[in-house]
Each structure stands twice: as structure tokens, then as C-alpha cells.
A = this chain, B = another copy of it.
Amino acid sequence: MHTEVPGPKSKKLLQEYSEIGGGGGAVAMFLDLEKSDGCYVADADGNLMLDLFQQIASLPLGYNHPALKAAHQDPMMQAFAISRPALGLLPPKEWPQIVQEAFMSIAPKGMTKVQTMLCGSSANENAFKAAFFAFREEERRKAGVKRAAFTQLEHDSCMNNQAPGCANHLSIMSFKGGFHGRTLAALTCTHSKSVHKLDVPAFDWPTADFPMLKYPLDQHKEENAKEEKRCLDMVHHLFEERQATFRPVAALIVEPVLSEGGDFHASPEFFKGLQKACAKYGAAFMVDEVQTGVGASGQMWAHEAWGLEESPDFVCFSKKALLGGYYYKDHYQPPGGYRVFNTWMGDPCKALLFRAVVETIKKDNLLDRVNVCATKLRSILDRAAKEAPAFVNNVRNQGCLAAFDSASPANRDKLFSTLRNNGVFVGVNGTQSCRFRPPLIMEPEHLDQFEKIFMDTLHKLKAAQ
């Protein structure tokens, strides 16, 4: 480390960028991507940091991985990049095979189909649409109407945003503390921080409580089971209330770990209970694996840890998948073309890169490596919780999706910025949590280095208090 972060060069660039908008007003520092390598990120001021956050959990193989360099040199890459096809209308002849190899080869068990999009928000919003289509088809079937036979009133009213053409009675249920994106329907399902939602119109869709578990889990079994039951009861109540008021819920969306909200976990039984509730009320069970998918949990998909007998109806991805999209079951195939559609429908360049990611995960047994590192990371955090509980408590993880709370937002913020100045970059979430989202290529040696800096930082912060 040569300077505090952000250093003078980052500050100068920020000033320059602010004059043309500043890109959302949340830039932390500027990077030197060519100098970044593996688990280490380089900034514009020549600092090199151990990066355990990896571009908001979006880099599966760290920086400048050789397998991705090779994929970038594929001649197809150039053709796809400079003559970008409209994948929904005119895909390149290589596309079905790429989709097969990159996405279907790691499809969660029971998921037969996949739709690519560009980002997590568009993945979720289009999955919502597919769920609405299926729910309305089922409503029509029950009413004895032929599949996709729309009435003139439906055709006419939808053009003016009104029922019956627009299914304005339907909704998506989501959870307090959940995050599903920032476009307006995805944002309606997002409840992680008020700053995301203030002043933006939302749909009148229901929000259930997500269990707030107490840690360590083995000392709070009864309390936590009660809390999970309370939340499940609330889910059932909301389904029933909406059904009784002719506004049924078409899908329920949930993350395996509620990440942006503060890394909230729940038991496999809780998620099984959600799936059962969805089945009871005819709603799609939609698992948002945008942040948890592609190996970070120690399994390819975090929901595989639940041991479901039947797969979810939708599994949404983005971030480490390098582009957005969703897996779905046959039942949710849209009834006809152009119902789920847009100009690009994804990006074949990102799919080529993701194919190389999938090959690397398999070839290098990266899931095994994640599990080894997860155990080690957990033991470091447990040690820290004993030695500096004002800064580290409520340690929790599923694989390398790990997090802890500090005793206050101020302590968390102090720890985060001191760590960064000491050369370790972690993520923050919730009001007073830090989260770890390392790349799948992390090795135990990286964690040795982390432990040294982390414990050192904690002891100094503790002494200064």
C-alpha cells in the first residue's frame, strides 16, 4: 500500500468524472485493471489489495485469469463483439451449442430450459413475466378458456395499462431484507435499504418477514425454529389474504442468502416450507441466485444445499455467470413468441467467457477449493469473534458466502476502511455487516495473508477504543 484509499489519483479522477455525472455518485476508487491479478486488485494510485469482494461478487475467477485470456482470443469472440447479434431474432449458428455448454451443462437438477438476459434485474423481471403468463394460463384453464386465446377486451385494455389485458391483480411476493434489482418491478421486490426505494413508485405487492436468526445457531435452536415458523406463517397468511381479495400471488422470489440486506441465512426446512406454500397456492417458486450462484456456496447453486425433492420453478443468475438469465421448467415456457423478448437477449461474448469459466471450475475442481477455503475462512472469523467481538460477531456462512456483524454501524465502517487502507478489500452490507465474496480461485495461502492483516487490524482497533 502506497497511499490511503482512495488515493490522490483516484480523487482527481473522481472530480473529473463528477463533472459529467459521476456514474451514480458511489465511486469508491479507480482501478488499474491491467495490473490487477487473481485475488489482487490494483488501484490507480499503485496500491495492491487482497480483494475479497470481487466487483460486487461478480468475478468468478478473479482478475486476468489465463482461461479467460484464451477465451478472449477465440476468433468467434471478435465476430460476436463487433457484429453483435440480436439473439432472440437472429442468433449466430454457434449459439445453441454455446448455451448448451455454458449454461445447460450446469443447470440445476430438473431445470430443462434457460433464457439469457443482460443483467440480474432483467433476468428477474423476465422471470416474473414468464410466471405471470403461466399463472394467467392456469386461470384461463380453470375457466375453460383455450390456451393463449385472448379476448378483444384483453387486447384493447392492455394497450391502456388496464385489466383484464394487464394482469394488474397479480403480484410477486418477496422478503424484507431481500434484493432483486433496481428496475421498478425488481425494485418492488427489493427491501434491503430505503435509499434504493425512496421516491420511486412501486407495485402494491406483498412483503413477508425473513427469519432473523440468532447466532451461534446451536445455542438458539428453539428460538430460531420459532422465528422461521413465524415467517412461514406470515407467508401463508399473505398468500391467503391476496387470494381472498382476488389479487393472487403468481410467484415468490427469495435469495438463498439475502445478500445486500445483510447476509441473512435460513434453514433448508424454511426454504422447503416456502416451496410447499408456493405449491399450495399455485405460485412459482423462484430462487434468485444472482449473488449466490456459480460455486460461491461450495455447490454450483446455493439452493442445492436445501435437498429439495423437486427443483424450484425458476433459478435466476447473473454476476459470476457474467451475464443475466434464468433457468426454468417446461411448464413456464412462454405460450408463443415475442412474449419474452428484447433486442439483445443477452450477449454472446459474455457467454463465450462463461463457457470458459464453467470449464475451469470443472477442470480445476474449484468447488472443492471453495469448500476448503470456506472452512478456513470460517475458523478465522470465529477466532476474530472471540478476540474482538465488538467488531466481529454473528459469524455465518454457506461456503465462501461468509459474513459477520459489528456491534454498531460505526464499528463496521471503521473496520472496513481500516482494512482497506491495510490492503484488504471486503464488502459491506446491511447496516453493520461485512461480507466476503472471494473468487473461486482463492487458495488457503490468501487466507493466511488475510488472517494476519485482519487480526492485526482488529487488535489495533480494539486497543484504540
Which positions in A face B, CB cutoff 8 Å? 9-10, 13, 16-17, 20-21, 23-34, 36, 41, 44, 55-56, 58-59, 62-65, 68-69, 71-72, 75-93, 95-96, 99-100, 104, 112-116, 118-122, 125-126, 128-129, 132-133, 136, 150, 154-156, 158-162, 165-171, 176, 181-186, 188, 191, 193-205, 207, 318-319, 322, 328, 333-334, 336-345, 347, 349, 353
Contacts and interface: CB of A to CB of B under 8 A. Distances in A.
A201 B23 contact: no
Nearest to A88: B24
B194 A176 contact: no
Contact of A31 (B30, B71, B78, B92): B92
B33 A79 contact: yes
Contacts of A27: 88-91
Given A55-B83, A68-B81, 11 more contacts: A13-B93, A20-B113, A55-B89, A64-B79, A118-B118, A129-B200, A133-B199, A150-B194, A165-B194, A182-B340, A182-B341
Contacts of A161: 188, 197, 202-205, 207
Given A132-B199, A194-B150, A13 B96 contact: yes
Contacts of A171: 201
B64 A9 contact: no
Contacts of A81: 68, 72, 349, 353
Contacts of A347: 347
A201 B198 contact: no
Copy number of this protein in the oligomer?
A: 2
Given A31-B90, A32-B92, A132-B199, A72 B82 contact: yes
B198 A33 contact: no
Given A58-B343, A207-B161, A121 B183 contact: yes
A176 B115 CA distance: 29
Contact of A96 (B17, B62, B68, B125): B17
**Max chain B C-beta neighbours (<10 A), residue from A112, A158, A184:** A184
B82 A68 contact: yes
A133 B88 CA distance: 34
A99 B17 contact: yes
Contact of A87 (B23, B71, B176): B23
A339 B154 CA distance: 36
A209 to B, nearest CB: 11
Contacts of A204: 161-162, 168
23 contacts: A13-B93, A21-B115, A24-B88, A24-B341, A25-B339, A28-B90, A30-B91, A33-B92, A55-B89, A56-B343, A58-B84, A64-B79, A69-B78, A120-B343, A121-B183, A154-B194, A159-B191, A161-B204, A162-B204, A165-B197, A165-B198, A168-B202, A170-B201
Contacts of A59: 83-84
